[in-house]
Amino acid sequence: MERRMTNENDDVPAIHRETADAWDVVAREKYGAEFDEHVALLRGGGDNLLPEERALVADLLPGARVIQLQCSHGLDALGLLNAGAASVVGVDLSAEMVGQARAKAEAVGASEASFLVGDAADPPHELDGTADVVYTGRGSLPWLMALEPWGRGVARLLRPGGSLVVYEGHPLANLWDRESTGLALRPEVGYFDVDPKEAPGFPRSVVERVAGPDGPRMPERHWRPGQVMEALLSAGLEVRAFREYPKPFWNQFPHWPPSVHGRLPNAYGIVARRPLASAKGAGPITGLKVRLDTADLDGVVAFYSDLMGLRVVERWNDGSDVGAILGLTDTVTGPAFLEFVPVEVPSNGGASVQIRVDDLDRFLDVLGERWPVEGPVDRPWGSRYAYLTDPSGVQVIVYEGRV
Ligand SMILES: C[S@@+](CC[C@H](N)C(=O)[O-])C[C@H]1O[C@@H](n2cnc3c(N)ncnc32)[C@H](O)[C@@H]1O
């Protein structure tokens, strides 16, 4: 059965709620029976990650606080603990799924795991800023009727510098007839369709069998990767990686001959990151420069450039004004610089933290009266500086312009 499910006036949270009612049925019918098998896998230290997913997430996991949106019965989330996460919070709108996930965590003794009932499009606010990694497992995004609120929710959950990892079915796979022995288009489906539809087969078939044709509806939207990335970009996240994979993550085309497999995209992955620092509404910080006072300018410059491989960006000697700026190129987070200035200093040195922004006036507007500032002043080398002192007495310079 395929029919139009929603229009722009529909109440997205209410549709999500009904979809979760349908997943309650599927959880009781299917996943309850798989409980012991999942627990055995987890007790053995296993996880549920496919090689493609592992490649996306592996570097981010060690010691990470992970939130999984649409965590279903908890196998993915508990597997992420086995794969190196320090803690995991799973969020799912189906209370039955969350109940099963909690029972699974208890059965394997995973005290670092917790599970909450919540909508992925408006995840619990108590989790804001707590995730090093937000992970959405396979088969998640099609159940969402709107992506912008989801993107905003992900951005809320991530700490600055935290990453989202999406590994999802490719929407192109929705175009092919699953029963066909070759490549055949489903006549009623288009890649650019926007209307949510119920798809034939699992999981809808389970709900129909148990609850009959009048059971809860579970419409899907096969979001294109471009739409997913736009939702993330408009929520202020940076897209760091986008990959497509030929391997389907479930056996949805059992009758395809080998000549078809491997020639079409069946899954995709996205890694996106919340920018490291946002100067709270004043635009991103675009560089970090740390000034170190030293009694031996030549010595430290030689040390950092010859030994450490930093690049000398600038060096000057105007009589009393002597110094050098060394740049760290190819950093993950953008440009960072060390500035050395020769002064007589105590043996433990002196330092100021210098933060570069795109728009100093906007930064100062946002800062308002909340912290004393000296400046801004225009510096002879073409930058504008504002001076603050942090609570420990270290000078902080926020600047715009040249390093
Ligand atoms: C296909 S399952 C995810 C499967 C899981 N990745 C795995 O491999 O076991 C989809 C899950 O999304 C949940 N879900 C659907 N809509 C949701 C929403 N709006 N918010 C939170 N969870 C939702 C369902 O309850 C279900 O547990």
CB distance 398 to ligand 1 below 6 Å: no
Q: For the whole model, what pTM was predicted?
A: 0.73
In total, how many domains does the chain have? 2
What does the pLDDT look like over 27-44, one tens digit per residue? Answer: 999 898 899 999 999 999
Q: Give the pLDDT of residue 13.
A: 94
Tell me: do 23 and 158 sit in the same domain: yes
Q: Ligand 1 atom closest to Cα of 137?
A: 6
Domain boundary among 246, 273, 300: 273
* CA diameter of the chain: 87
Q: Give the pLDDT of residue 101.
A: 98
Tell me: do 301 and 213 sit in the same domain: no
Ligand 1 mutation pick, 143, 166, 167, 220, max ligand atoms within 8 A of CB? 143
Whether the pLDDT of residue 324 is over 80: the answer is yes
Tell me: do 306 and 258 sit in the same domain: no
| Average pLDDT value for residue range 307-329 | 79
- Band of the pLDDT at 338, cuts 50, 70, 90? confident
Residue 185's DSSP bridge partners are 176
- The share of the chain scoring above pLDDT 70, in percent, equals 91
Q: Give the pLDDT of residue 145.
A: 96
Tell me: do 257 and 389 sit in the same domain: no
Domain boundary among 273, 295, 310: 273
Q: Which two tokens stand for residue 334?
A: 């953008």
Tell me: do 293 and 321 sit in the same domain: yes
Name the pairing type of β-strands 131-136 and 65-69: parallel
Q: Which two tokens stand for residue 53?
A: 């997913």
Q: Which residue's alpha carbon is at the smallest distance from atom 1 of ligand 1?
A: 139
If you measure from the C-alpha of residue 271 to the centroid of ligand 1, how many angstroms do you get, rounded to a whole number?
19
Q: Which residue's alpha carbon is at the smallest distance from atom 10 of ligand 1?
A: 140
Separation of alpha carbons 349 and 247, rounded Å: 56
Would you say residue 311 lies in a domain?
A: yes
CB distance 70 to ligand 1 below 6 Å: yes
| Average pLDDT value for residue range 334-357 | 70
Tell me: do 196 and 338 sit in the same domain: no
If you measure from the C-alpha of residue 238 to the centroid of ligand 1, how many angstroms do you get, rounded to a whole number?
25
Domain boundary among 273, 304, 326: 273
Whether the pLDDT of residue 195 is over 60: the answer is yes
> Which range, of 87-96, 111-120, 197-206, 339-348, averages the lowest pLDDT?
339-348
Whether the pLDDT of residue 79 is over 60: the answer is yes
Q: Ligand 1 atom closest to Cα of 75?
A: 9
| Average pLDDT value for residue range 284-310 | 78
- Band of the pLDDT at 298, cuts 50, 70, 90? confident
CB distance 92 to ligand 1 below 6 Å: yes
Tell me: do 129 and 226 sit in the same domain: yes
Would you say residue 7 lies in a domain?
A: no
Tell me the pLDDT of the chain averaged across its residues. 88
Q: Give the pLDDT of residue 292.
A: 78
Three-state secondary structure along the chain?
A: CCCCCCCCCCCHHHHHHHHHHHHHHHHHHHHHHHHHHHHHHHHCCCCCCCHHHHHHHHHHCCCCEEEEECCCCCHHHHHHHHCCCCEEEEEECCHHHHHHHHHHHHHHCCCCEEEEECCCCCCCHHHCCCEEEEEECCCCHHHCCCCHHHHHHHHHHEEEEEEEEEEEECHHHHHECCCCCCCCECCCCCCCCCCCECCCCCCHHHHHHHHCCCCCCCCECCCCHHHHHHHHHHCCCEEEEEEEECCCCCCCCCCCCCCCCCCCCCEEEEEEECCCCCCCCCCCEEEEEEEEEECCHHHHHHHHHHHCCCEEEEEEEECCEEEEEEEECCCCCCCEEEEEEECCCCCCCEEEEEEEECCHHHHHHHHCCCCCCEEEEECCCCCEEEEEECCCCCEEEEEECCC
What does the pLDDT look like over 240-295, one tens digit per residue? Answer: 999 999 988 888 888 998 888 889 999 999 999 998 665 666 776 777 788 877 77
Separation of alpha carbons 293 and 167, rounded Å: 47
Which among 334, 366, 297 has a CA at the least distance from the CA of 386? 366
CB distance 138 to ligand 1 below 6 Å: yes
Whether the pLDDT of residue 332 is over 50: the answer is no
Q: Give the pLDDT of residue 329.
A: 56
Q: Give the pLDDT of residue 330.
A: 47
Tell me: do 212 and 328 sit in the same domain: no
Would you say residue 5 lies in a domain?
A: no
Which domain covers residue 97, as residue numbers? 12-273
Whether the pLDDT of residue 331 is over 70: the answer is no
CB contact at 8 A, 125 and 139? no
What does the pLDDT look like over 367-387, one tens digit per residue? Answer: 888 889 999 999 888 899 999
If you measure from the C-alpha of residue 217 to the centroid of ligand 1, how many angstroms do you get, rounded to a whole number?
14
Tell me: do 142 and 253 sit in the same domain: yes
- Compare 395 and 10 and report the one with higher pLDDT: 395
Whether the pLDDT of residue 4 is over 70: the answer is no
Q: Give the pLDDT of residue 48.
A: 93
Whether the pLDDT of residue 334 is over 60: the answer is no
Q: Give the pLDDT of residue 301.
A: 84
CB contact at 8 A, 24 and 97? yes
Ligand 1 mutation pick, 37, 50, 93, max ligand atoms within 8 A of CB? 93
Tell me: do 179 and 299 sit in the same domain: no
| Average pLDDT value for residue range 123-145 | 95
Q: Give the pLDDT of residue 202.
A: 86
| Average pLDDT value for residue range 60-66 | 94
Q: Give the pLDDT of residue 143.
A: 97
Q: Which CATH number fits the domain that encloses residue 175?
A: 3.40.50.150
Whether the pLDDT of residue 343 is over 80: the answer is no
CB distance 221 to ligand 1 below 6 Å: no
Separation of alpha carbons 383 and 334, rounded Å: 19
Tell me: do 222 and 305 sit in the same domain: no
